[in-house]
Structure 1
Amino acid sequence: MYRHPIRVYYEDTDLAGIVYYANYLKFIERSRSEWVRARGVDQGRLKAETGIVFAVRKVDADYLRPGRFDDLLTATTELRALGGARIDLWQTVLRGEETLFTAAVTLVCLGEDGRAARLPPEIRALLSEG
């Protein structure tokens, strides 16, 4: 499981001082991007060389408890399944051991034409690691 630290800034909160709901999606996006990078995949290079990009197809999110200004949170990313052109992930946002947010996320690989494209074998191997 990949773990990415996040500090809640004033700009992340709403009038009540709790994390605005849409910002959890930003938090897990950062974690996903860093998870991909930690596995040795350069998304900019992947696009330049193959035309392939990752796009979110589906998010099933559950908001369990509020995060608050100045909290130190951890956004996690865990691979659930890897298909031909699909990546299924489980993501959470934690405050210590307390789960604030969970999401099942499905990514698809898209080619330059905007259609689903198979993951290149070398990228599949890197994402499958650890």
Structure 2
Amino acid sequence: MRARINAEPFVHRCRVYYEDTDAGGIVYYVNYLKFMERARTERLRDLGFDQSQLVGEDLLFVVHSCEARYHAPARLDDELLVSAEVVEMKRASLRFNQQVKRAADGRLLCEGQVLVACVRAESLKPRVIPEALRAAFADSGLSPAGE
């Protein structure tokens, strides 16, 4: 399934804390991936699924690959808007496009794409995304344009 062009992406608000920055008060590059992870987790929660529930159902999402491009720095105390838009859903994976923007001015700071695989919690072997989760993503803006 591919995302509809006009679907609104999910946005998670977060704040840059001292622990997120380097000695210059600028967000350390790898911490953008942490902000993106939180947004993906909150996206699942927004759809009615939390990580502890999924683990109890022998399901984990693990990062298969990611790509990030950095455009401008975030700084200590900035409020960030982190999107988590599913642009592709296959049998056992989800592809997210994500952006991190500064809330105060909307400036794009970082953008990336993350492919997460659905695996069994016990064996870490691939498993099909459960129908209830597939339906929740479909109801939130995915259309069945290719699988």
TM category (shorter chain) comes to over 0.9
Deviations 1:58-83 (A, max 9, x none): 10111111001111111111110100
Q: What corresponds to 1:56 in structure 2?
A: 63
Q: Please tell me the root mean square deviation across aligned C-alpha atoms, in Å.
A: 1.0
Residue identity matched to 1:66: P
Q: Is 1:13–1:69's contact at 8 Å kept on the other side of the alignment? A: yes
Q: What corresponds to 1:44 in structure 2?
A: 52
Residue identity matched to 1:43: Q
Residue identity matched to 1:86: S
TM-score, normalised by the number of residues in structure 1:
0.94
Q: Is 2:41–2:50's contact at 8 Å kept on the other side of the alignment? A: no
Q: Is 1:36–1:127's contact at 8 Å kept on the other side of the alignment? A: no
Residue identity matched to 2:73: P
How far did 1:9 drift? 1.3
How far did 1:52 drift? 1.1
- Corresponding position: 1:101 with 2:110: yes
- Corresponding position: 1:85 with 2:92: yes
Counterparts of 1:22 and 1:64, CA distance in 2:
14
Q: What corresponds to 1:17 in structure 2?
A: 25
How far did 1:127 drift? 2.3
Which has the larger helix fraction?
A: 1
Q: Does the residue aligned with 2:115 lie in a helix, a strand or coil?
A: strand
Residue identity matched to 1:73: L
Once the two structures are overlaid, the 10-residue window that deviates more, 1-10 or 38-47, is: 38-47
Residue identity matched to 1:82: M
Counterparts of 2:55 and 2:23, CA distance in 1:
39
TM-score, normalised by the number of residues in structure 2:
0.84
Structure 1 ranges of 4+ moved more than 4 A? none
